[in-house]
Structure 1
Amino acid sequence: MWFHLFCIAVGFFAGYLMIHWMPPLTPFDFTRFTTELIFNPLRTFLALTCFFIGFLANAVVIRTVIEGIVFCLRRKRVRWMEWFVCCGGMGSFYWLFQWEVRLTALFFIFSLIYGMISVNLDRSR
């Protein structure tokens, strides 16, 4: 459970930093967006690194939620406390959506797809 709390915290913090370091998207101007990405290489690198780390951390949480749902439907043993913590941790996307909708939607989609890909329904682990 501590690992999942850590993943939730890392995912939220990395998402916040990614949103903070990316160029503004509100009135989207492609020229301005690419210019800021090119002329601020450190911020671009840090934002992309935070995006990568954050979507991997959130994918672990999403994977746990999906596995819990599948195990519950199959009537197998579910670690309920861990599952509730992960479901509650999904609320961190609410706060990220409040700051930047487009980047958070992209962040969530990547996390969801990778979380679904990494689902392991084998109980031997």
Structure 2
Amino acid sequence: MLFHLFCVVVGFLCGYLMIHWLPPVTPFHFVHFITELIFNPLRSFLAMVCFLIGFLANAVVIRTIMAGVILWLQRKQVRWGEWLISCCGASGSFYWLFQSETKLTVLFFIFAFIYGMISLDFRRSRGYKRDL
């Protein structure tokens, strides 16, 4: 359960730092955006690293949510504490990130959701308790 709470916190912090370190995208001016990325290489690199770590952490949380829903629909045992932490943490995290920057958060969520769904293995549903 602590691992999922850690993933929620890391996902939120990395998303916040990514949004803070990237140049503003509203209103979007391509020349200004590229110029900021080129003239601030450390901030750009750190924003990209935060994006990668954050969407991987959120993908773990989304995978846990989807695996719990699938197991619940199959009438199998679900760890409700971990599922509840993942659901509340992910929804709260993305809500606060949406409040600060909508476009970057949508991109962040799409990457995390797609990778979380790709990493979901339906044949390993018997090993669900072992993985958590």
Which band: TM-score by shorter chain? over 0.9
Query: What SS is found at the alignment partner of 1:78?
Result: coil
Residue in 1 that maps onto 2:96: 95
What displacement does 1:120 show? 2.4
Residue in 1 that maps onto 2:116: 115
CA distance in 2, matches of 1:120, 1:81: 21
Matched, 1:83 2:83: yes
Residue in 2 that maps onto 1:27: 27
Residue in 1 that maps onto 2:69: 69
* TM-score for the superposition, normalised by structure 2: 0.93
CA distance in 2, matches of 1:24, 1:62: 27
State percent identity of aligned pairs.
67
Structure 1: any 5+ residue segments left out of the alignment? none
Residue in 1 that maps onto 2:3: 3
**Pairs aligned (count):** 125
Residue in 1 that maps onto 2:59: 59
* TM-score for the superposition, normalised by structure 1: 0.98
CA distance in 1, matches of 2:112, 2:57: 8
- Amino acid corresponding to residue 64 of structure 1 in structure 2: T
What displacement does 1:26 show? 1.1
Cα RMSD (Å): 0.7
- Amino acid corresponding to residue 95 of structure 1 in structure 2: W
